[in-house]
Amino acid sequence: MKQLTKAEEEVMQWLWQLREANVASIIDKMPKPKPAYNTISTIIRILENKKFVTHRKEGKGYIYFPLVTKEEYSNQSLTKLIDNYFNGSFTNMVSFFAKRNDMSIQEFENILKELEK
């Protein structure tokens, strides 16, 4: 699976939330200042080329929807992060963030409870 740019990921976040939308609907959800229609349209075409998005014709326009779930992309991104920065070790990553963020015992226990689920 290809990596997304920041702009592509932002559009995907909106599509994951909306589940399906035309370009105008995506722009409506975005914060001000709103990007140009052509900008979002171009990003959508790039996402289609990367096989993250597809469309169906509706009236004179298109409705776009994700082909890749947010969970699939998150898993792939996290795996890449762990491989590239923590030598493929989940333990090294957790240890890094625990030290960096001065985690409490309660936070560790909450993580363990989540993992047990």
CATH code of 6-66, in short, is 1.10.10.10
Give the mean pLDDT of 86-90: 90
The yes-or-no verdict on residue 56 having pLDDT over 90 is yes
**Coarse DSSP helix, strand, coil percentages of the chain, rounded to the nearest 5 percent:** 60, 10, 25
- Sorting pLDDT into bands at 50, 70 and 90, what band is 40? very high
Selection from 16-20, 91-95, 98-102 with the highest mean pLDDT: 16-20
pLDDT in tens, 3-38: 899 999 999 999 999 999 999 999 999 999 999 999
**Tokens 């990367």, located at residue:** 50
Contact 80, 41 (CB under 8 A): no
Q: Within the chain, which residue ranges are assigned CATH 1.10.10.10?
A: 6-66
Residue 111, both tokens: 């993580």
The yes-or-no verdict on residue 99 having pLDDT over 90 is no
Residue 113, both tokens: 């409870």
pTM: 0.78
